[in-house]
Amino acid sequence: MIPFFREENREITGSFTAVEAELISSLATQVAGLLGAVASRSDDPELAGTGIGGSTDRHDDPALARLLPNAYSEDDDASREFRQLTERGLASRKIDNAVIVLHTLEHIAALALQPPAPLDDAPTTVPDDASSLFESHDDDPGTEIALDEPTAIAWLRTLTDIRLTIAARLGIESDDDTPDETDDAALVLADVYNWLGLITESLVEAVDS
């Protein structure tokens, strides 16, 4: 990965290897999938096409609860009403951002999906991908992508949604929380989380410059 930066021609560029692109794509797809159930919810058929008619209560899933939080901290009725009116739209916009990220990465990520060597039957799971992220990729120098301003903002929002989701899965709820040191999968996920943080940081700087 070469972090994002602003070129002299104002274009924002970064570079990802196929494995990295596939990992980000996989995570974006998972977050979009999580939100998909909310965005397509139509409890009330009359409201199905209107974008309103979302669920009424905060989600039990901590990741969804953080992605789609209550709007009123002290008024459950108002939160419920607001959620019904706005939640599907919010979820849909988040999915749209994730789809934009998938589009910008698809030509790189596709390279990672080429048939593996015959003896390599390791499943393409996030932890396996993630551990290989931190090894050198002599055979894959990375492929550059260029983002315009709206695409960069969609990227920032999706990177944030992915990190919020991972943080919820890792139980990171305060500044002092750290992942369980005895849980290898959690440690790998925490590495991914921090790596996505580096990308986000570079993209904020690039958008800002």
Q: Where do contacts with another protein occur on this chain (CB under 8 A)?
A: 66-75, 81-82, 85-86, 90, 93-94, 156-157, 160-161, 163-164, 167, 172-175, 177, 197, 200-201, 204-205, 207-208
Beta-bridge mates of residue 15: 2, 144
Least Cβ distance, residue 5 to another protein (angstroms)? 14
Least Cβ distance, residue 178 to another protein (angstroms)? 10
The CA distance from 88 to 36, in Å, is 9
- Which CB atom, from 67 or from 130, has the smaller least distance to another protein? 67
- Which CB atom, from 111 or from 164, has the smaller least distance to another protein? 164
Least Cβ distance, residue 51 to another protein (angstroms)? 10
Least Cβ distance, residue 183 to another protein (angstroms)? 18
Least Cβ distance, residue 46 to another protein (angstroms)? 14
The CA distance from 98 to 160, in Å, is 11
> Nearest CA to 143 among 2, 15, 22, 20?
15
- Which CB atom, from 23 or from 156, has the smaller least distance to another protein? 156
The CA distance from 101 to 203, in Å, is 13
- Which CB atom, from 61 or from 205, has the smaller least distance to another protein? 205
Six-digit token string for 119: 């003896």
Q: Find the angle CA(53)-CA(54)-CA(56) to the nearest 5 degrees.
A: 110
The CA distance from 90 to 102, in Å, is 19
- Which CB atom, from 50 or from 125, has the smaller least distance to another protein? 50
